[in-house]
Amino acid sequence: MRNLTLKFLHLLFLAITMSLFHSANSKSMLRLKRGASISVEGNTFITSPDDSFTCGFYAMPGSKAYWFAIWFTNSKDKTVVWTANRDRPVNSQGSRISIQGADGTMVLTDVDGSIIWQTNTRKSDVSAAELLNTGNLVLKNQRGDILWQSFEVPTDTLLPSQILTKDKRLTSSLRKGSFESGYFNLYFGSDNVLWLINDSPETSSLYWPNPDFDIHTNKRTNYNSSRIAFLDDMGMFRSSDKLQANASDKGFGIKRRLTIDHDGNLRIYSLIISTGLWMITWQAISQPCKVHGVCGTNGICVYAPTPKCICTPGYEMNDPSDWIAGCKPTFKEALLSSPVKFLELSQTDYFGSDLYYKPDFTLEACRELCLGDSRCKAFAYKTWGSGHCYVKSDLFNGYMSPDFPGSVYIKLPRRVQVSKPSIWFQHYV
């Protein structure tokens, strides 16, 4: 006990001295000039004139890897809005960002001098980098013309006055506590409509606006081909497809951001100045399980009652620490050669992957159709007027929904012992 207390005091002492050390030694500048550089060890940052944004080397808590990033100075956890090298972090020692003399390119190099990231500003007359009050990192020439800007290459966040155009996208982080590119994206589709879409290695699946409805029911239009979207200073998120979403604290003077999160939802966050914490003031998807693929291949998103991922019965997690990796079958045999059985999961469906869709079908006929096709991994059956049969080739985008009027029937080798997770009984007992 005494030992523990001592250890705790020691840690506390370390934390205090380190934070003093940090604030005493960190330097901030308004401009990084051509020929100059910033290193992790140098503890130097570029700040916006109003100090609302900071740019420099950033490490995730508990990590020795660094990213060249821009963050909100006054949010408690220094929320990052942009990273240059999201998929390739650099070492804490010897990495640097510089505006190189010869052509004015901004270059991020790792300890061994290898180029990790650079701007496409070759043969230009860049004189300095500055961070604007909007959170935009810009490269300027002597005359003050902007030659490159971070707003042109967004990562997962759009800031007020930053514009999402035709050839740009926001891409989520792969998991919480990481900057690595994930699978969820926000961009304009070929139909001029702003989409949320899961572009994973196995599949592409649009989940917003609601794929069960047509464009007009979703209050969008595909007539306007200008394809621009932005979050304004009032907290209104608007797009040329007629989307209009308002932050619940609509009004001027609040710091906000629009972020596509690792769970695939798109949210407007507003900063509470007194605490430095973020408040969600709008989100695109109200039922989290409606985000396609949020539980990976063969996973099912359920409400228990808060949203959580489980594997389809008869399947197990690929990586026990990570749902993104999805689930794999616990059996090896093909689903035709061996005797099979079907396990019913009520109010559950896998969006898409329909080998066949048959209206006016009986449950028994639907079962026969799946039984006779080795590609069929499950079938969904819903009663909506008459019976509707959907034969599934893959178990993607699995979700449980209180408003799904039917069940899915999982095809499994007869010898495989499975127990239905209790979530499917709670509705009946």
Ligand X SMILES: *[C@@H]1O[C@H](CO)[C@@H](O)[C@H](O)[C@H]1NC(C)=O
**Which residues in this chain contact ligand X in the complex, by CB under 6 A?**
224, 226, 228, 236, 240, 244, 246
CB of 195 to ligand X, least distance (A): 17
Checking DSSP bridges between strand 354-358 and strand 386-392, what pairing results, if any? antiparallel
User: In terms of CB distance, is 230 or 396 closer to ligand X?
Assistant: 230
DSSP 100-113: -TTT--EEEE-TT-
User: In terms of CB distance, is 244 or 321 closer to ligand X?
Assistant: 244
> What percentage of the chain's residues is helix, strand, coil (to nearest 5)?
10, 40, 50
CB of 104 to ligand X, least distance (A): 34
Which of 266, 264, 260, 262 is closest to 243 using CA atoms? 266
Which of 65, 21, 60 is closest to 43 using CA atoms? 21
CB of 207 to ligand X, least distance (A): 20
User: In terms of CB distance, is 129 or 243 closer to ligand X?
Assistant: 243
Residue located via tokens 């081909």: 225
CB of 215 to ligand X, least distance (A): 15
Cα separation, 332 vs 413, in Å, equals 9
User: In terms of CB distance, is 281 or 312 closer to ligand X?
Assistant: 281
User: In terms of CB distance, is 215 or 236 closer to ligand X?
Assistant: 236
User: In terms of CB distance, is 124 or 224 closer to ligand X?
Assistant: 224
CB of 158 to ligand X, least distance (A): 15
**H or E element that contains 321:** none
Contact 164, 170 (CB under 8 A): yes
What is the DSSP code (8-state) at residue 249? Answer: T
Cα separation, 381 vs 346, in Å, equals 10
CB of 159 to ligand X, least distance (A): 18
User: In terms of CB distance, is 200 or 265 closer to ligand X?
Assistant: 265
CB of 248 to ligand X, least distance (A): 10
User: In terms of CB distance, is 161 or 224 closer to ligand X?
Assistant: 224
CB of 255 to ligand X, least distance (A): 19
Which of 271, 234, 269 is closest to 251 using CA atoms? 234
CB of 321 to ligand X, least distance (A): 39
Cα separation, 245 vs 382, in Å, equals 33
User: In 323-385, at which residue ranges do the beta strands (DSSP E only) sit?
Assistant: 327-329, 340-346, 348-350, 354-358, 378-384
User: In terms of CB distance, is 3 or 244 closer to ligand X?
Assistant: 244
Cα separation, 307 vs 293, in Å, equals 13
Cα separation, 258 vs 180, in Å, equals 18
